Amino acid sequence: MDYRVLGKTGLRVSVLGQGGAAFGQQYGAVSPEEVSACVRHAVDRGVNLFDTAAYYGKGVSEELLGAALAGGLREKVFICTKACRLDRALFDFTAAGTRACVEASLKRLRTDHVDILLAHDIEFADDYDFVFNETYRELERLKHEGKTRFIGMSCYPLPLLKRAIETCELDAVISYAHFTLQNTRLLSEFLPAAEARGVGVMNASPLSLGLLTHQGPQAWHPAGADVRAACKAAAELCAARGADISDLGMRFALAEARIPTTLSGAARASELDANLNALGAPPDAALLADVLKVLEPVRDATWPCGNWKG
């Protein structure tokens, strides 16, 4: 496992981080035993960054991760969790709501602090100035109190995330689905500003919420029909060559040296192994070139998210 420094935090994080959405039953049922085995296997293989959220399974992800890390593993890893989003359509960015969410998360995680705390999916806020003032100040207070070592925010629209790091003194952020085979806007539109400010960038969803998989995305996926069709064609091209687009996509993301860590969810040890295998070598150059040609008509296409109108 290789490690890279996460911006000004100084944390040396594994280039492959473990996302916790699947632990929250977001993609199907998974047992506590399977989660525990996956977490132990990840730590054994050198993964030291675990990302979760109060939203994932309404706390189930944090609860299962906390149980899996009990007995000595907590001291070997960095935990990133996210507050303010409580359910699919339930958010609370107030200072009191943020604090209550964090206190509950710490209990579920069985720890007195997390390493990184983010305001979750800020594009769903009704008032971004409120988030950049009231929510941000509460994050700072929680940091000062030792509830978290570092603070940040997460969201899908890159212009809003850029505004966040320009307005607030953040340590780290999570951007998702913006550094994939289909969309590399993270490098061109956000990373320079983050690097200038020393903000650590965690790249999530390198397979674009299932778009870049053989089975394709779930019905709720917000991508347009043109993006879905192009990604399906790219997956079929890989299959015809005896390859898996998921493996190609993971290798593509993990090979980018400017991105400190890429988060990819796995609910079971066998699924984690597929991600770990992608660390072995860069993507096949010829296959990558052909896949990028198929995806060229929808290069960097995005979708609306939250209340952001920019």
Residues recognised as catalytic: 56
239 to 166, 248, 283, 287, 294: CA distances (angstroms): 43, 11, 15, 11, 14
Q: Using CA atoms, how far apart are residues 76 and 46, in angstroms rounded to an integer?
A: 10
Length of the chain: 310
Q: Using CA atoms, how far apart are residues 149 and 143, in angstroms rounded to an integer?
A: 6
Radius of gyration of the chain (CA): 18
Q: Which residues contact 178 (CB under 8 A, 6 or more apart)?
A: 156, 158, 184, 185, 186, 190, 203, 302
Q: Using CA atoms, how far apart are residues 121 and 152, in angstroms rounded to an integer?
A: 11
- The β-bridge partners of 3 are 14
- The β-bridge partners of 87 are 90
Query: Alpha helices, DSSP H only, in 110-244?
Result: 128-130, 136-144, 158-167, 185, 191-197, 225-240
Q: Which of 154, 57, 138, 52 is nearest to 93 (CA)?
A: 138
Q: Is the CB of residue 16 less than 8 Å from the CB of residue 254?
A: yes
